[in-house]
Amino acid sequence: MLLKIGLLGGGSWGTTVASLISRNCPTTIWARDEATVRDINKHHRNEKYLPGLTLHQDLKASHSLQETLKNADVVVVGIPSQNCRSVMEEAKSFIRPWVPIVSLTKGLEQGTKMRMTEIIESIYPQHPVGVLTGPNLAKEVLQGQAAAAVIAMVDTNISNALQQVFRTGLFRVYTNDDVIGCELAGALKNVIAIAVGMGDGAGAGDNTRSAVITRGLAELTRLGIAMGGKPATFAGLAGMGDLIATCISPLSRNRYVGVQLGKGRTIQDIIAEMSMVAEGVKTCGVVAELANLYNIEMPITQEVNKVINEAVTARVAFRGLLSTKTGSEADPG
């Protein structure tokens, strides 16, 4: 029996995943924007977020949560982090008991500092909850270029079953039982990508980029392990893999924000012109708070937070990084 999938969120990655899994299972995607729903149903496109790219012809769209979820055997959530809670509460009466819920969102909730799976579990305590993550740039995946992802669930039987839902052609899906590590890696790397972009925008070279990526990986690994993630996760697809893709690709929203900051623009001007969410902008302040809470030194994160939330310029932030004292590579900082 084919599983029926209900996917929440009509952005670029949610639409891409919906298009992929519609090859394997009957899939309905929910979007709040009625124009997006019409575009998907009538033209098999989402021109707002994925211009010029064609979606799978079997994918259906709806602006009704009830229609999308009432028969769903699996629910996939691609809602921006700061809206996840409200949408999941709104959807509660339509999701059947025990249905697995998989998050696609790489962010942390402001205020509560919660991961998306923690939010979902608090609203749906009886449901198995997991995350799909990895180095997955939506446009490349939708164009059919080879990519790999990780489905992380505590229950390996469920993750093995879901592996078959998400895996298609050149999109390879691995399993992992470290939900905390996989989810944190996806959220934290966006902050490092902003830092790398800031360097690129300011004219820094490949040596600088390599140093920021490497030291950034050390930062997110330290915090991730302190919060319960497994060390190996941060060296895998969810950690290093996703970090590299997000830090070097011109398709990366978070890197783009950093590049524009490095050129001297304000965060307000950059965000005002973007149609898509760069999760690192909202997440960096939360990560800085977590670093203080767990007493973890994260100098790159702290400097990004100053630029985003304290009006420090990217040039001043980089000077701050360069003045940070160096010790053994194995030491924090």
pLDDT tens-place string over residues 12-54: 999 999 999 999 999 999 999 999 999 999 999 999 999 999 9
pLDDT tens-place string over residues 254-303: 999 999 999 999 999 999 998 888 899 999 999 999 999 999 999 999 99
Q: Say whether pLDDT at 114 is over 80.
A: yes
To the query of whether residue 106 is one of the catalytic residues in this protein, the response is no
pLDDT at residue number 162: 96
pLDDT at residue number 314: 86
Mean pLDDT (the chain, rounded): 94
Helix (H) or strand (E) holding 58: none
Confidence of residue 328 (pLDDT cuts 50, 70, 90): low
Q: Say whether pLDDT at 125 is over 70.
A: yes
Residues of the chain with CATH 3.40.50.720: 5-177
CB distance 147 to 139 below 8 Å: no
Architecture field, domain 5-177: 3-Layer(aba) Sandwich (3.40)
pLDDT tens-place string over residues 133-187: 999 999 999 999 999 999 999 999 999 999 999 999 899 999 999 999 999 999 9
- Domain 191-322 class in CATH: mainly alpha
C-alpha 204/C-alpha 213 separation (Å) is 13
C-alpha 124/C-alpha 167 separation (Å) is 26
pLDDT at residue number 195: 96
Residues of the chain with CATH 1.10.1040.10: 191-322
Q: Which of 189, 230, 306, 325 is catalytic?
A: 189
